[in-house]
Amino acid sequence: MGQVPLKIGGVVVDPPILLAPMAGYTDTAFRSICMEFGCGATYTEVVNAQGMMRESPRTMHLLESSEVERPVAAHIYGKEPEVMAKAAQVAEKLGRYDTIDVNCGCPVRKIVHKGCGAALMKDPEQIGKITGAINEAVKLPVTIKTRIGYDEQHMNLFEMAEQAEQGGAVAIAVHGRFAAQVHSGPVDWATIGELKSRTRMAVIGNGGVTEAGDAIRLLKETGIDGVMIGRGAVGNPWLFREIACLVKGEPYLQPTREEREEIIFEHLRRLTELAILEYKHRRRIRWAPEKSAILAFRGHLCRYLQGEPGWRYVRRGLNDISSSEDVARAIEVAFSGRQGN
């Protein structure tokens, strides 16, 4: 089957395969790598609207991006329409973003306790007010990311979508689990497909896509407009290239060890550059840029090497990795299956 480009207002996403926002993972370093392997669009990590409004250096650092990763969405969270609107204006003025995305599904406790993220799912009218305020404040297309419901007692996806659409949202990304499930349990693709028949917004499906075939099945079985990939892409940015090969009916060759090593160190290099940039803007940080980059990279490295003979050794010693030399040793251990001295 061919892929029809996804349209989000005037923004064209081609291919319609997107990288999901993930706190601690989808910074500009990782987003740019995924785009180079064929991802159609990316999202920032979840960014606090209050911090954006104050232009806090720590918050603004999360909004670093590069031209290579466009189209990219500024993915923001908050609960007050006026604050969210002002945050959207800050993002628009940066000139780096193509859409403004409202987080209506993050299940992280500290965000939910503030009445933000998944907590908004219990108040669909507030979602409409937020999208409406942002839509009036900026020219960029407004979208939302949510789940099928907060829990089984609050499965109000269709009401949320209706309110968002009335507020001017042009696309909705839906994770096919309840917020209460976090990332465990079955994924309800059928409900996402039903939403497609009930709304004029573009519908993007998310959840349970870990292999190339999953993305194709989700598009085919539901008739939705796009697929969003989250954890399946961590440690495997080649997944986007594999999906493209599957669509075109072309053979896909798994990356060699040399190719994987090259991307691992390129990813670390970009993270280091990002950490250096943060140091220039925020002098009061705990670690030197090189160590800060390594600490941020540990989770990625574990996923890059998952499944290799010595992966369990790497995982056990992950917290001891503090230099690029340690990364090189971890790679050797992973592929050889031997811990060494």
- Amino acid in the structure at residue 135: N
Annotated catalytic residue within 34, 39, 104, 106: 106
Q: Is 106 a catalytic residue?
A: yes
CB atoms within 10 A of CB 325: 9
Q: How many Å separate Cα 292 from the centre of its chain?
A: 21
Asked if 208 contacts 187 with a C-beta cutoff of 8 angstroms, the reply is yes
Strands 142-149 and 171-178 come out as parallel
The residues that bridge with 149 in the sheet, in sequence order, are 178
Give the CB-side neighbour count of residue 12, counting CA atoms within 13 A: 4
- Amino acid in the structure at residue 12: V
The alpha carbon dihedral of 259, 261, 265, 270 has a sign of positive
> φ and ψ at 202, to 5 degrees?
-65, 140
Question: 């292999």: which residue's tokens?
Answer: 211
Strands 72-77 and 42-43 come out as parallel
Hey, which residues are catalytic here? 106
